[in-house]
Amino acid sequence: MVTQIMPRNFLQRQKIMRKVLISLIPVILGGVYFFGLRLLLLLVVVTVAGIATEYLFARKRKAKVTEAVLVSSVLFTLSLPVSTPFWAAALGISFGIFFGKEVFGGFGHNVFNPAIVGRTFLLISFPGHLTAAWTRIFTTFPGGFIHYIAPPLDALTQATPLALFQTGETLPLSKVIVGNVFGSMGETSVILLLLGGIILLAGKAADWRLMLSPMLGFVGLTSVLKLAGVGGIPHPLYGLFTGGFFFLCIYFVTEPVTAPKTIPAKWLYGILIGVITVIIRYFGIFAEGASFALLIMNIFVPLLDDAVKSLQALRKKEAAA
Amino acid sequence: MEMSPFIVFMASIFTNNMILANFLGMCSFIAVSKEKSAAWGLGQAVTFVLTGTSVINYLVYHYVLVPYGLVYLRFIVFIILIAAFVQLVEMIIERYFPVLHLHLGIFLPLITVNCAVFGVSLFTVIRQYNLFQAAAFGFGSGVGWTMAIVALAGIRQKIKNAPLPKGLEGAGITLIITGIMALAFIGFSGIIHVQ
């Protein structure tokens, strides 16, 4: 592993982050199987760029590079399409680590999720690379393990499940769950993500409330809209399992530094992420709203926590009186 | 333009937020966002003034400036009306609501030079809103502005003890946070079209 190659005093070891990295192994292997070996190369480029950015700041603070930057790099890579140019991927993670984390004083102080800051920045700066350049996927063994990259999709005739939906088509749900759909590298297979989520929960590296609440918000609002007869809304489960939302619920919403600390705030935070995702996805100009939803809710985390704390203090006071 | 005032209200909070989409009213946004209570106070005052001035400026524009062919004076007239309104509000509040004045007192004069207030009056003219739309737009912009500044104050209080790089303390980090907030709010774009 990368962590063993580096000198002892270079990397700060973080137990939880190690667990997250381990839980990501099946997702990475699945990504390679579906999309090809280029994923690994992207992973290396992004990780090097991420560590370099953090090192510049950590040296000034006389601190070590944290293991969290490895997690951010891997998650960031998996949130991109496999055909992303190397320069764009490196730029994205550097921007994310720089403006999302280091300017706030490094690990533990960041308000926004660094990987999502980087991804959102890339999405609005170079939308073509992130939303149009999809590839086909491998479906037969050994799949991508012996290929550099999956062949490109004809952008005019095929699109991601979400974009397909806007033209009125849907893929069978079974296909979506196993992962036989194209999209970003980490988001395709619900089964592998679920496996990763179980490893996270078993290792107590994530809070199940944060994982479950966005899904509740998402399925809840989609069901209500569907029952109300709003046009253009897919089956709630189909929406949940396609696109990056499921990936985001398991790995990004649960990120401990940026998530709220109090339990009621966690529920509210998650549910609102689901709700905002639905609104952006089905009514806005972006096909995928999950990363925006997370960033928007990151803004309100301090307020949510404060509101809960002052409410609890008030209740205690009343109980005492 | 046919659009329900409620839609205009929602748009001015989320898709066309004065701070996060138009970057208006930045000076007080950055200066008064250290404490949540101060931010909340200023937000209330801005909301009140925005609602009042957007209606007054609408009336003056359509019933005085347009009929007499004085539209070219609108910049000066709007500014004077805003300043007068703020003064009047301050005097009334000081006389009849001393507690509220104690709460908002220092912030009221600041609002005269808040670009968001002037911007709202001009947008009302450019987008050809009717009276109800103008009122909803003014009120919504105020609510959106308040939401943004209170959220920013929350974030700034959270990172108060963070080991920021020396050069970024204060306004520097605040501008970066504002930038990322704006990045997030781009996600809402396209949900409602107001222009």
Chain B touched by A62 (CB under 8 Å): no
Residue among A71, A307, A181 at smallest CA distance from B40: A307
Tens of pLDDT, residue by residue over A1-51, are 444 445 556 777 788 888 898 899 999 988 888 888 888 999 999 999 999
pLDDT score at A157:
47
CB contact under 8 A, A121 and B179: no
Question: In Å, how far is A301's CA from the nearest CA of chain B?
Answer: 8
Does residue A84 sit in helix, strand or coil? coil
Mean pLDDT of chain A: 83
pLDDT score at A116:
94
Question: In Å, how far is A171's CA from the nearest CA of chain B?
Answer: 26
Which pair of structure tokens corresponds to residue A220?
């809840």
pLDDT score at A30:
86
Placement of tokens 């590079």 in the chain? A65
Q: How far apart are CA A188 and CA A31, in angstroms?
A: 8
Which pair of structure tokens corresponds to residue A248?
């985001």
Interior CA angle at A18 toward A14 and A24, to 5°? 150
Give the number of domains in chain A: 1
Question: In Å, how far is B154's CA from the nearest CA of chain A?
Answer: 5
Residues of B in contact with A283 (CB under 8 A): 191
Q: In terms of residue numbers, what domain contains A241?
A: 2-311
- Evaluate whether B120 touches B50 at the Cβ level (below 8 Å): yes
pLDDT score at A134:
65
Residues of A in contact with B185 (CB under 8 A): 296
Question: In Å, how far is A255's CA from the nearest CA of chain B?
Answer: 17
Preferred mutation among A57, A98, A103 to probe B, highest tally of B CBs within 10 A: A103
Q: How far is CA B168 from CA A23, A73, B6, B89, B161, in A?
A: 36, 25, 40, 37, 13
Q: Which residues contact B173 (CB under 8 A, 6 or more apart)?
A: A103, A104, B156, B159, B164
User: Do the domain assignments include residue A318?
Assistant: no
User: Do the domain assignments include residue A150?
Assistant: yes
Going residue by residue through chain B (195 aa), what tens digit of pLDDT does each one get? 568 889 889 889 998 899 998 899 888 888 888 888 888 888 888 898 999 999 999 999 999 999 999 989 999 999 999 999 998 888 887 888 787 777 666 777 878 878 889 999 999 999 889 999 999 999 999 999 999 999 999 999 998 888 888 888 888 999 999 999 999 999 888 787 765
User: Judged by CB atoms within 8 Å, which residues 151-210 of A form the interface with B?
Assistant: none
Chain B touched by A146 (CB under 8 Å): no
User: Do the domain assignments include residue A321?
Assistant: no
Burial class (CB in 10 A: 0-12, 13-18, 19+), B119: middle
CB contact under 8 A, A306 and B190: no
Q: Pick B190's closest partner by Cβ from A57, A285, A291.
A: A285
Question: In Å, how far is A178's CA from the nearest CA of chain B?
Answer: 29
pLDDT under 50: residue ranges of chain A: 1-5, 155-158
Q: Which residues contact A293 (CB under 8 A, 6 or more apart)?
A: A272, A273, A274, A275, A276, A277, A280, B187
Helix (H) or strand (E) holding A65: strand A65-66
Residue among A285, A271, A171 at smallest CA distance from A221: A271
User: Do the domain assignments include residue A319?
Assistant: no
DSSP conformation class of A66: E
Q: How far apart are CA A65 and CA A14, in angstroms?
A: 11
Chain B touched by A100 (CB under 8 Å): yes
Placement of tokens 């781009």 in the chain? B186
- Evaluate whether B149 touches B42 at the Cβ level (below 8 Å): yes
- Evaluate whether B142 touches B43 at the Cβ level (below 8 Å): yes
Residues of B in contact with A60 (CB under 8 A): 165
User: Do the domain assignments include residue A65?
Assistant: yes
Question: In Å, how far is A88's CA from the nearest CA of chain B?
Answer: 18
pLDDT score at B97:
79
Q: How far apart are CA B150 and CA B68, in angstroms?
A: 42
**Count of A-B CB contacts under 8 Å:** 90
CB contact under 8 A, B187 and A284: yes
CB contact under 8 A, A105 and B190: no
CB contact under 8 A, A303 and B154: yes
R_g of chain A, CA atoms, integer Å: 20
User: Do the domain assignments include residue A316?
Assistant: no
Is the model's pTM score more than 0.80? yes
Q: How far is CA B47 from CA A211, A263, B104, in A?
A: 37, 32, 12
| Total residues belonging to chain A | 321
Residues of B in contact with A104 (CB under 8 A): 159, 162, 164, 173
B-side interface with A, Cβ within 8 Å? 36, 150-151, 154-155, 157-159, 162-165, 168, 173, 176-177, 179-181, 183-191
pLDDT score at A156:
43
Chain B touched by A105 (CB under 8 Å): yes
Preferred mutation among A299, A305, A308 to probe B, highest tally of B CBs within 10 A: A299
Question: In Å, how far is A282's CA from the nearest CA of chain B?
Answer: 9
User: Do the domain assignments include residue A73?
Assistant: yes
